[in-house]
Amino acid sequence: MIVAVLFAVGQICDGAGQKTPPPLEILAPKQVNGWKSNGAGRMFTADTLHKYINGASEIYKALHVQRVLAQRYMKPDSPHITLDLFEMATPADAFGAYHHDIRAGKSAGIGQESEYEGATLVFWKGAYIVYITSAKAPDPVRAAIFELGRSVATAIPEAGAPPELLGELPEKGRTANRVRYFHNHFLLNLYYYVSDENLLYLDEDTEGVLAWYETPDGPPMTCIAIGYKNEAQARKAGSAFMKAYLPDADAEGVAQLEDGGWCGARRDGRLLRLVFDAETRQTCLQALVKQNQPREEET
């Protein structure tokens, strides 16, 4: 039974009326189903996270991690449970951290999206991604993991929106649960290698989404949408890409590559769309056009 978190924690307003996130410790209950927190948890920032999770910290840093609370829960004669609570800069970053891994496990129905697999519960809600794990999970441990998850999810004040850019990618044929979110070119290259150089002028202010689409034959088609700070940046990146990658593109910005697949790029204001490994020219062109009709102004 949860005894510590009895109510959802609201965001705190500072003197200027700005919302600041609640202290991470408030989100973690003191005990759950007989497992008690093992003293104060350990706190990490982007600069110190590597001391806790070594190289994996780079992924969270690339997705703008702010703070991390690592809290251990103990119960006599039972495996301990570890809560890792990551506060990211934005809900989109939390979404990105969640979708960094392949999500093939069952949904736990906690937070905005969740997965339970192999004694680990992971979910994201708002700007938080939460991992709750144990070495083994017989029924009582599993029940405690879920209870802990529900407690933390309830304590997180607000849900958040997934990256708006997702709406710029085709929906039809998208492989379920296979989307990625990134800022810099290291993370993009991890998901889909484009170039060893930062050809697309990605930096911490850009954001991009990537998704895969099943094709009847051959590799899946990859679609990428990148949002730049301004139109000039998008234009520069688009030109650099066309020059280095698609110098043979036709007037519509597509070309058939050496492996037979079609590739294309198109700029739309401060947005750049890229398509790789399309089976036909037509498929490539369809994926390059604006996906969402503009919303009507509210009256």
Partner 1 sequence: MVVKPKAMTRRDFLRRSAAGLTLAGAAAALPAGAEDATRSTVVLVRDQAALGEGGKVNGEAVGRMLDLGVRELTGKPDADSAWAEFVKPEDVVGVKSNTWPWLCTPPEVESVVVSRLKAAGVAADRIAVEDRGAPKNPVFQNSTALINVRPMRSHHWAGVGSCIKNYMPFHHDCQSLHPNFCENLGELWSLPMVKGKTRLNILVMLTPLFHSKGPHDFKDKYTWEYGGFLLGTDPVAVDTTGLAIIEAKRAEYFEQAAPLPITPHHIRFASEKFNLGIADPARIDVKKLGWEEGRLI
249 near partner 1, judged by CB under 8 A: no
Select from 10-18, 23-31, 166-174, 241-249 the region that touches partner 1 (CB under 8 A).
241-249
Residue placing its CB nearer to partner 1 in the complex, 37 or 134: 134
Number of residues that bind partner 1 (CB under 8 A): 40
- To partner 1, the closest distance from the beta carbon of 197 in angstroms equals 3
Q: How far, in Å, CA of 277 to CA of 56, rounded?
A: 29
- The contact mask relative to partner 1 for 149-178 (x = CB under 8 A, - = no) is ------------------------------
Cβ closest to partner 1, residue 196 vs residue 296: 196
C-alpha to C-alpha distance for 106 and 135, rounded to whole angstroms: 18
Stretch that binds partner 1, among 19-27, 128-136, 213-221, 224-232 (CB under 8 A): 128-136
**Among the listed residues 9, 190, 249, 271, the single contact to partner 1 using CB under 8 A:** 190
Q: Considering the complex, state which of residue 246 and residue 285 has its C-beta at the smaller distance from partner 1.
A: 246
**50-109: which residues touch partner 1 (CB under 8 A)?**
50, 53-56, 58-60, 84, 86, 101-102
Nearest distance in Å: CB 193, partner 1: 5
User: Residue 189 to residues 181, 183, 185, 193, 196: CA-CA distances in angstroms?
Assistant: 12, 11, 6, 4, 8
Told to check if 256 binds partner 1 by CB under 8 A, we report no
Q: Is the dihedral of CA 187, 189, 190, 191 positive or negative?
A: positive
Distance (Å, whole) CA 88 – CA 269: 28
| 282: helix, strand or coil | helix
Q: How far is the CB of 264 from partner 1 (least distance, A)?
A: 13
Residue closest to 104 by CA, chosen among 119, 116, 95: 116
The smaller minimum CB distance to partner 1, of residues 90 and 133, is found at: 133
Tell the smallest beta-carbon distance from residue 214 to partner 1 (Å): 13
Considering the complex, state which of residue 258 and residue 296 has its C-beta at the smaller distance from partner 1. Answer: 258
Residue 146, classified by CB atoms within 10 Å of its CB into exposed (0-12), middle (13-18) or buried (19+), is: buried
Residue 262 · residue 280 · CB < 8 Å: yes
User: Whats the size of the chain, residue-wise?
Assistant: 299
Stretch that binds partner 1, among 11-19, 33-41, 139-147, 189-197 (CB under 8 A): 189-197
Residue 115, burial from CB neighbour count under 10 angstroms (0-12, 13-18, 19+)? buried
Pairing state between β 174-182 and 262-268: unpaired
| 8 A C-beta contact, residue 94 and residue 131 | no
Q: 3-state DSSP call for residue 139?
A: helix
Q: What does the binding site for partner 1 look like in residue numbers (CB under 8 A)?
A: 50, 53-56, 58-60, 84, 86, 101-102, 117-120, 122, 131, 133, 135-136, 186, 190, 193-199, 201, 240, 244-246, 257-259, 263, 276
